[in-house]
Amino acid sequence: MIKHHPSEDLLVQHCSASLNASLSLAVSIHLDMCPICQEKVAKIEAANANVVFNDKQVLSPNEDKDNLELLEEFESNVFDLITSDSGIDEVYEVEPVSIKVNAHDYQLPRALTRISHSKFTQVGKIARSRVALDDGALRSSLLHIDAGGEIPEHTHTGFEVTLLLDGEFSDEEGNYVPGDFIWQDGSHLHTPLTKDGCLCFTVVSSALHFNKGFSKLLNPIGNLIY
């Protein structure tokens, strides 16, 4: 059962299309996996629609009659105006897309099927593929950890969102299942590890900061490789 969800504020921003593309993508993937957040978003969208369609323009008694008639005509034909826009994309059927990482086969989430990503590069039991999103300082990736692998103890100089797509992993705060949406920042210190392997979608705003062992040697160049 999914235990970790986007905050209410993130869901509100997602519904108003005010999130960065990377975070909006992470929320979209989570929503496809989480009935609880689907219900929350449905209520937020209904409230937004209620505000938009009940926001009537108040005209003064002295308002020009022609303007009033024009407003009424626009309101009665708004659906026709929208559907007649030839620039609107046609609806397409999403075809499943699978990827292979080492000996593991995974089906990508629906939201990722039309977004390209790089080849996986591997260091030890950890492999990463960069997702092709131009989103300023934010970096989005597919992160695969082989069975028995772990990411050395670290904290964050910015924030990191980890959305578990397949498999399992755990850290000092508990165990995670597919669909869990985990937000970490400088107040968190953890060592993610997996017994059976996992695939995650991650969004980071800045470099990780490693705290132990040889991984600390990466800190001086962290901003170049995050």
pLDDT per residue over 9-25, tens digit each? Answer: 999 999 999 999 999 99
For residue 54, the one-letter residue type is N
Question: Where do the domains of the chain lie?
Answer: 1-226
Please, what is the average pLDDT of the chain? Answer: 86
For the cut 90, the answer to whether the pLDDT of residue 208 exceeds it is no
Higher pLDDT, 213 or 225: 213
Using left for φ > 0, alpha for ψ between -120 and 50, and beta otherwise, residue 120 falls in beta
What band does 73 get if pLDDT is binned at 50, 70 and 90? low
What does each C-alpha distance from 145 to 138, 188, 196, 199, 204 come to in angstroms? 21, 20, 9, 7, 17
Q: What is the pLDDT of residue 57?
A: 52
**Residue reference for tokens 């705060």:** 173
Class of domain 1-226: mainly beta
Q: Which pLDDT score, from 0 to 100, does residue 75 have?
A: 63
Q: What is the model's pTM?
A: 0.81
How many Cα atoms sit within 13 Å of 67 on the Cβ side?
A: 8
5 phi/psi in degrees, rounded to 5: -130, 160
Q: What is the DSSP letter of 110?
A: G
Phi, psi of 198 (to 5 degrees): -160, 160
Weakest mean pLDDT among 14-28, 76-90, 157-171: 76-90
Q: Find the mean pLDDT for residues 168-182.
A: 95
Strand ranges (E), 98-211 = 98-101, 104-107, 121-123, 126-130, 139-145, 154-156, 160-167, 169-171, 174-176, 181-184, 198-204, 208-210
Cα–Cα distance for residue pair 145/137, rounded to 1 Å: 24
Residues 200/126, Cβ–Cβ less than 8 Å: no
Beta bridge partners of 143: 128, 200
